[in-house]
């Protein structure tokens, strides 16, 4: 009992020794924290007070207390201070409370005082920011000389002071940071977003940027000098915030950021190497761009991102003209900077179809830059881009001034403007198919005179596109003009007007090009790529360009492609009837082409016997009509060929055998299409027969019981009723019989040329007639029975007409197409005048 009491007394009287030992053990095991340390200190105070009050202090208690204090102190110092540091740091001597989410202001004040006292504050906020950055981090740490070791120790001391003064969950946000300044700035940004007075941070700034920029790894973003090289320094700062501010267009936040980090205005953001100006320009934030331009020097505006784009290139892609004006007004050389793809801002604006931007950049880009004496790469690329997006007014103005750009090739694709034009048949009249009403409207538009020459045209285009209406009267007129344009667009008239204007400019451009080509000899034209452009025009069916090129360079008509196929053989291969029709304009020399063969000994008729390209077949609806078009091509070429020249090809096939072999699948599909159309139409016709036959015996009003005659036999409406019923019955019966004939017909190759299409035309025509007569019968029956009550008759008739109208609209275009393909104008123009 005595020993037990003595042991309890010793443990009670030695809390310092016991607590210090436990703390030291926990520290070695790396399982301590500040709460645990202070817990043992609290236990000691309670024990000491208890034993002092009860007067049970043994003579050995003083020594035990001293030993406990020593153990406790040594454990704390071992856990919280680096023995190699010049400054020993204790968290209880730095701040009153560790950093939490709600005490940043008090914490930062204590930390600043401590940093100043320990001569560490210069690592957080240098007196001269720019000089401080350059002196502190002028080269990588591994290559420092002299004071590199002292700098690392000072930085570690400051960083350690920050780390041990944070709560565990705050510490987790900065534990991977190795710079004291980065850690301080990160805590400042993350903590200030909880402050309601901070307007900038409350709008969404902070560490988490994935909502505004999910594609970037924000942890890898850092600030690098624009002149960074192997020995350049890495500047500090949370650059992700600057990116977000510039991207959102928040100039106030951007300004505050740049006031704190002035060097960030010229820094690049990885991984794309963009500056804040690039980001704002790409996002279309005009205000931020204008303010940044004011702060940046002329040289800083020339900074290029990872793809070689300047801020002007980004603005050109976006298409905001005022943004480009702001940049060019301060640095006119920006228009001559090209990216990694050798594309200037003018080319980028054209390729992105930003016409207002292209007009402006075209007016300020130096001619010397576009028309380089060596190869004219930039001018050629610009001209190709303008033609490719159908900005033909700009392309014509440039080509009219510098016609040598016709054959100038760019360094990237080694193509020229003539090749681009040859691949665009849609910008010429021959490449468009208009309906009858569209053709009439097209012919009504007057042909405008295009202004050429002089600098006034170039400037007026820009002024006209950028001028704004300031007065109220002009604004009202502008609104009315916009309404009129929208109305014309809705009616389809404006599109036809724009199409004709496009055709005018394309013709002018072609004339300019041919005038330049006419000055070249045959060798020069071959080196300039005229032959390649001609073959491309033949393949695409650009008949206008083919005619003009042959006029200025006649040998092109006899030049063959890689398979030794001339102009007309290629037109048969690609099924361009307008190009093939040029053969009829040659008159006497027509027979010369009919006797030629290609590399595989295929004649023109062999090429006609082959199946058309899928792109050409897709233009024709229905496999039966596709088969008909193939037969028309074969018969047309056969008519101009000498029968004695129908020889075997290398595959030992005659033209007829080749045609049958190539079209056997299409023949099967054509038969299925014909039978399917006939079957569905037969069902409709049989239904009409049933209805109309029944109506004759159930006339409206009934019959007179004594005589058996209809009650309304003397009414005019009754006469119309009977006649319409008879027409509907007879026409539907005829259509059903015709469709039955199609179902039982022979489906040979030649039957698709006229026999089967004629039966289908007759069957569909009589079916539509029976439907129309049936509707007349229905309407007259309502009029007779309701005695002229139009308020009931009209709605009922309209509702009953809806399904019938849908059927007609769906099938009637097919009837028109079959008729035009069979009995309409021929696809070949045999009456073509001599054009050569």
Please enumerate in sequence order all residues whose Cβ is within 8 A of that of 46, keeping only pairs 6 or more positions apart, or say none. Answer: none
Judge contact between 466 and 358, C-beta under 8 A: no
Cα separation, 139 vs 145, whole angstroms: 10
In the numeric block, the tokens 């705050």 are attached to: 170
Helix (H) or strand (E) holding 820: helix 790-823
For 609-638, the DSSP string reads: HSPPPHHHHTTS-SHHHHHHHHHHHHHHHH
So what's the pLDDT on residue 150?
A: 78
Q: What angle do CA 647, 651, 657 make, to 5 degrees?
A: 65
Distance CA 404, CA 402 (A): 5
Look at the block and give the residue holding tokens 């009829």: 584
Alpha-carbon distance of 746 to 734, in angstroms, equals 20
Structure tokens at 362: 């075209």
3-class DSSP state for residue 686?
helix
C-alpha 578/C-alpha 571 separation (Å) is 9
pTM score, whole prediction: 0.67
> What gap in Å lies between CA 752 and CA 464, rounded to an integer?
57
pLDDT in the model for residue 411: 84
* Structure confidence at residue 449 (pLDDT): 59
795 contact partners, CB below 8 Å, separation of at least 6: none
What pairs with residue 737 in β-bridges? none
Is there a contact between 606 and 658 (Cβ–Cβ < 8 Å)? yes
Residue 149 · residue 201 · CB < 8 Å: no
Determine the CATH number of domain 235-429.
1.25.40.20
How many residues are present in the chain? 836
Which ranges of 14-128 does DSSP label H, i.e. alpha helix? Answer: 15-28, 34-54, 61-80, 91-94, 104-117
Q: Which H helix or E strand runs over 790? A: helix 790-823
Contact 618, 668 (CB under 8 A): no
Those residues whose C-beta lies under 8 Å from the C-beta of residue 660, and which sit 6 or more positions away, are 749
Express the helix, strand and coil content of the chain in percent, nearest 5 each.
Answer: 65, 0, 30
Domain 436-665: CATH superfamily is Ankyrin repeat-containing domain (1.25.40.20)
Residue 606: both structure tokens together: 């062999």
Query: Which pairing describes strands 268-269 and 234-235: parallel, antiparallel, or unpaired?
Result: unpaired
- Rounded average pLDDT per 10-residue block, the chain, 836 residues: 40 42 40 45 45 40 40 41 39 74 84 85 66 38 49 84 86 83 84 48 33 34 39 48 92 93 88 91 95 95 94 96 96 95 95 96 94 80 96 95 92 90 94 84 75 46 45 75 76 86 94 94 85 94 94 89 90 94 83 82 91 93 95 93 72 86 95 95 94 83 70 80 92 96 93 95 94 89 80 84 81 90 89 84
Contact 495, 442 (CB under 8 A): no
Rounded to 5 degrees, φ, ψ at 127 are -65, -45
> What residues contact 701, with CB distance under 8 A and at least 6 apart?
710, 711, 712, 718, 784, 785
C-alpha distances in Å from residue 279, one per residue of 213, 242, 254:
12, 10, 12
CA distances to 188, 692, 733 from 688, in Å: 84, 6, 9
Q: What are the domain boundaries of the chain?
A: 2-80, 92-135+146-181, 235-429, 436-665, 671-823
Residue 260's alpha-carbon distances to 110, 129, 285, in angstroms, are 22, 9, 22
Cβ atoms 776, 830 nearer than 8 A: no
Which two three-digit tokens encode residue 771?
């439907």
Report DSSP letters for 753-772, one per residue. TTHHHHHHHHHHHHHHHHHH
**Distance in angstroms (rounded) separating the CA atoms of residues 117 and 303:** 42
CA–CA distance, 697 with 699 (Å, rounded to integer): 6
Contact between residue 138 and residue 169 where contact means Cβ atoms under 8 Å apart: no
Equal fold, 235-429 vs 436-665: yes
Name residue 166's beta-bridge partners: 99
DSSP 8-state symbol, 715 = S
Tokens encoding 751: 């039957």
d(CA 682, CA 406): 60
Q: Is 99 helix (H, G, I), strand (E, B) or coil?
A: strand
On the question of a cis peptide bond just before residue 271, with omega within 30 degrees of 0, the verdict is yes
Which is nearest to 306 in space by CA: 349, 275, 332? Answer: 275
């Amino acid at each position: 009992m005595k020993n037990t009491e003595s042991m309890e007394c010793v443990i009670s009287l030695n809390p310092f020794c016991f607590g210090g030992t436990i703390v030291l053990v926990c520290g070695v095991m790396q399982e301590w924290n500040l709460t645990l340390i202070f817990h043992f200190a609290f236990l000691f105070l309670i024990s000491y007070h208890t034993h002092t009050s009860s007067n049970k202090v043994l003579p050995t208690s003083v020594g035990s207390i001293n030993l406990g204090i020593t153990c406790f102190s040594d454990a704390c110092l071992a856990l919280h201070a680096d023995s190699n540091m010049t400054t020993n740091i204790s968290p209880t001597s730095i701040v009153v409370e560790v950093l939490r989410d709600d005490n940043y202001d008090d914490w930062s004040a204590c930390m600043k005082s401590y940093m100043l006292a320990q001569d560490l504050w210069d690592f957080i906020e240098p007196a001269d920011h720019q000089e401080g950055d350059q002196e502190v981090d002028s080269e990588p740490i591994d290559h420092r000389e002299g004071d590199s070791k002292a700098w690392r120790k000072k930085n570690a001391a400051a960083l350690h002071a920050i780390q041990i003064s944070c709560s565990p969950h705050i510490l987790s946000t900065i534990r991977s940071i190795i710079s004291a300044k980065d850690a301080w700035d990160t805590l400042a940004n993350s903590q200030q977003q909880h402050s309601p007075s901070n307007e900038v941070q409350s709008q969404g700034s902070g560490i988490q940027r994935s909502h505004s920029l999910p594609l970037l790894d924000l942890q890898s973003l850092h600030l690098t000098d624009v002149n960074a090289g192997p020995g350049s320094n890495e500047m500090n700062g949370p650059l992700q915030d600057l990116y977000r501010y510039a991207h959102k267009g928040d100039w106030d936040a951007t300004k505050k950021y740049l006031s704190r980090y002035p060097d960030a205005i010229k820094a690049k953001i990885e991984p794309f190497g963009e500056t804040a100006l690039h980001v704002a320009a790409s996002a279309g934030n005009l205000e931020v761009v204008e303010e940044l331009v004011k702060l940046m020097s002329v040289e800083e505006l020339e900074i290029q991102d990872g793809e070689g784009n300047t801020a002007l290139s980004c603005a050109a892609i976006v298409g905001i003209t005022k943004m480009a004006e702001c940049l060019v007004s301060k640095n006119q050389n920006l228009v001559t900077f090209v990216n990694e793809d050798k594309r200037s801002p003018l080319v980028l604006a054209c390729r992105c179809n930003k016409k207002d931007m292209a007009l402006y950049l075209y007016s300020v880009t130096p001619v010397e830059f576009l028309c380089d004496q060596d190869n004219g790469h930039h001018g050629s690329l610009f001209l190709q881009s303008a033609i490719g997006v159908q900005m033909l007014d700009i392309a014509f103005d440039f080509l009219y001034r510098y016609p040598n750009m016709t054959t100038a090739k760019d360094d990237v694709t080694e193509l020229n403007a003539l090749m681009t034009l040859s691949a665009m048949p849609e910008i010429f009249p021959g490449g468009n198919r208009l309906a009858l009403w569209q053709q009439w409207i097209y012919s009504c538009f007057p042909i405008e005179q295009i202004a050429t020459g002089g600098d006034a045209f170039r400037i007026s285009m820009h002024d006209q596109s950028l001028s704004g209406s300031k007065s109220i009267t002009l604004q009202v007129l502008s609104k009315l003009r916009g309404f009129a344009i929208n109305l014309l667009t809705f009616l389809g008239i404006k599109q036809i007007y724009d199409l004709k204007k496009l055709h005018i400019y394309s013709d002018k451009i072609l004339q300019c090009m041919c005038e330049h080509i006419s000055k070249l000899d045959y060798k020069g034209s071959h080196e300039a790529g005229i032959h390649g452009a001609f073959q491309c025009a033949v393949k695409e069916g650009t008949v206008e360009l083919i005619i003009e090129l042959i006029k200025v360079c006649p040998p092109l008509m006899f030049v063959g492609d890689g398979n030794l196929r001339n102009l007309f053989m290629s037109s048969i291969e690609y099924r361009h009837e307008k190009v093939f029709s040029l053969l009829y304009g040659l008159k006497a020399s027509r027979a010369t082409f009919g006797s030629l063969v290609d590399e595989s000994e295929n004649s023109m008729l062999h090429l006609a016997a082959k199946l058309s390209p899928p792109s050409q077949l897709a233009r024709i609806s229905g496999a039966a009509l596709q088969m008909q078009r193939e037969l028309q091509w074969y018969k047309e070429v056969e008519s101009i060929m000498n029968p004695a020249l129908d020889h075997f090809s290398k595959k030992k096939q005659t033209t007829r055998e080749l045609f049958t072999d190539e079209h056997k699948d299409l023949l099967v599909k054509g038969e299925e299409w014909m039978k399917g159309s006939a079957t569905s139409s037969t069902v409709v016709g049989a239904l009409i027969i049933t209805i109309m036959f029944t109506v004759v015996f159930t006339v409206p009003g009934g019959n007179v019981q004594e005589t058996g005659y209809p009650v309304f036999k003397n009414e005019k409406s009754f006469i119309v009723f009977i006649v319409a019923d008879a027409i509907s019955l007879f026409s539907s019966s005829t259509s059903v019989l015709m469709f039955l004939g199609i179902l039982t017909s022979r489906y040979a190759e030649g039957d698709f040329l006229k026999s089967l299409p004629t039966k289908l035309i007759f069957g569909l025509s009589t079916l539509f007639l029976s439907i129309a007569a049936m509707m007349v019968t229905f309407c007259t029956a309502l009029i007779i029975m309701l005695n002229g009550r139009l308020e009931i008759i009209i709605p009922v008739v309209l509702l009953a007409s809806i399904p019938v109208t849908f059927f007609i609209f769906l099938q009637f275009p097919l009837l028109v197409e079959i008729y035009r393909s069979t009995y309409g104008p021929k696809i070949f123009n045999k009456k073509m005048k001599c054009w050569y």
